[in-house]
Structure 1
Amino acid sequence: MPVPNPQALEFLLTRRSRPAKTLTTPVPDRAALQTLLEAAARTPDHGKLEPWRFIVIDRAAMAPLAELAQARGEALGLDSEQIVKGRGQFDQGNLAVAVIEVQKDSPKIPILEQTYSAGAVCLALVNAGLAAGWGANWLSGWASHDRAFMEQGFGLAAHERIAGIIHIGTETSTPPDRPRPDLEKITTWL
């Protein structure tokens, strides 16, 4: 007979990411962040490959990343609105964790499953932050997918890429809930 955890289920049924631009200080200290990272690292990873790692971005590291996003946006010929958006998460950020997908050779575990695992780590980190009482948001954007930005800003190797950048901080406002999927339209019962 299963043993229910109604508090955990209620959390999952009502969880809501907090927009990164609404997060402020204080942010988790190193010990508190370590706990969140431990929770995220419990994500299933098919074959125990651990096809991901973390890069913590503190406030001091945000400004150089914002400048790099600006430079990369200009080099790519993006319009000013895209450039402002690309650097915005770093201009406004106080603490974030880049979840890095680390693709590993495996005769049993396809790369796609490793990608899924890295994405699951992103959601687990958001949920851990929210469960601990922080505001949290998973962002990506064009800069996160630009190879030069990944290599210059984070020192990523060719077999690595950014799965997501998770911003964590104190929420300044609770966002309204958004419409959720109609389960009748997206569920098939066999």
Structure 2
Amino acid sequence: MERSLTLIALFAALIAALGLVPKFDLAFGVPITAQSMGVMLCGTVLGAKRGGLAALLFVGLVALGLPLLAGARGGLGVFASPTAGFVIGFPIAAFVTGLAMQQFRALPIGWAAGVAAVLGGVVVLYAFGIGGLMIMLNKGLLEASGLVLAFVPGDLIKAVLAGFITAGLAKARPASLLSRS
């Protein structure tokens, strides 16, 4: 139990730390950041439950006002911005990534982590992000989907990196990969 709590807190901190990687904003206000890779790693390393809880802890800290999102953003105002769907989707994306990782036991760890990261950290996260854009910007599905197309290549690269990082971690410290235990 204590180990799980520590890892949940550590991975919430990892998501926050990845927000320090310099971001850049697209014209409509949604930033490209490394934080979604932290969400992917929560699932690939910690598994569904712990990974989802780590991302939920991160979102809770942001809601309390801690400036943990890229660009030092935090507080309830984040949930009224175009990025609200992405932030709200973090815990579900981490959970789905972890669930997929747990289901893909037949695949080598790197491949399983990469595919799981695409499913949870791209497909699920984009579903929430597009929903948020539709609501906050009063856009239709096609229009909101078009706004996020520029993110796809970068997020696919993050998913590949999550696969490599998870495989490297599994090789260096096999017991630390809780998504496979």
TM-score w.r.t. the length of structure 1 is 0.27
The structure, 1 or 2, with the larger RCO (C-alpha pairs under 8 Å, 6+ apart) is 1
TM-score w.r.t. the length of structure 2 is 0.28
- The structure number with the bigger radius of gyration is 1
